[in-house]
Amino acid sequence: METFTSWPSWPQAEEPLARALPPETVDALRAAVAFAREKHGLQQRPTGRPYLEHLLEALEVAVAGAGVTDLDVLVAIVLHDVLEDTPCTEAEIVRRFGPRVAEFVGWVTRPQGIAKADYLGSLVKAPPQAVLVKLADRVSNVQELQRMPWRFQRRYYLETVAYIMPLAGVHPWFAAWYGEWRRHWHRRVERLSAY
């Protein structure tokens, strides 16, 4: 199963991005990364690593894995958690990055007071570009799921199979990646559930 952990910081991401994308897209991504770094501040991933690593992993998934080139989708991938996890507003995103980016980020932001299952279920109505943002986000989250406590692993596996994998069906690269991931994790989850 291919993993995407080669871009832990902007300097590691910039050169491969410059080989894959037009200069104006790289410039926009540089600005988005700076914005996300400012908004997320000292936030960390559950593993204790800087939060920016997750955003750059999701970006690597989209560019190096799925071959996504749509500038607004890629910027939305970098910004996908700013509404949910920081004081950032949708108006700030619109002002800095445009309404299309704000729309995609809005789709992948879980509204307060909404059950996670209801939120994930609503993504079937999302525009295809917003679905790409969610698919890249979840690849980053599940590619090294073994680092998390086993109860979390099982719950997250089941949630991904139920809600995220159906979204991947119309995106061949993501469908193949998640299919391979599921085969790998199915055996692991069965073993963990036996305990």
Residue 92 located in a structural domain: yes
**Range of the structural domain that residue 97 is part of:** 10-193
pLDDT given for residue 192 in this prediction: 57
CA-wise closest residue to 77 among 163, 141, 17, 137: 137
CA distance 140 to 178: 12
**pLDDT tens per residue across span 96-113:** 999 999 999 999 999 999
CA distance 3 to 111: 29
| Claim: this prediction has a pTM higher than 0.75 | yes
pLDDT given for residue 145 in this prediction: 87
Tell me which residues are annotated as active site: 84-85
Residue 1 located in a structural domain: no
CA-wise closest residue to 29 among 94, 101, 85: 101
Q: How many domains does the chain have?
A: 1
CA distance 185 to 187: 5
Three-state DSSP class for residue 50: strand
pLDDT given for residue 144 in this prediction: 86
**CA-to-CA dists, residue 31 to 9, 11, 74, 76, angstroms:** 14, 13, 12, 12
pLDDT given for residue 124 in this prediction: 96
Average pLDDT for consecutive 10-residue bins of the chain (195 residues)?
Answer: 95 98 98 98 88 97 98 98 96 98 98 94 97 98 88 90 96 97 80 57
CA-wise closest residue to 140 among 30, 66, 41, 58: 58
| Residues across the chain | 195
Residue 43 located in a structural domain: yes
pLDDT given for residue 19 in this prediction: 97
Residue 2 located in a structural domain: no
CATH number of domain containing 83: 1.10.3210.10
pLDDT given for residue 194 in this prediction: 54
Backbone angles phi, psi at 78, to 5 degrees: -65, -35
Output the DSSP codes for 71-107: HHHHHHHHHTTHHHHSS--HHHHHHHH-HHHHHHHHH
Please say whether the beta carbons of 174 and 135 come within 8 A.
yes
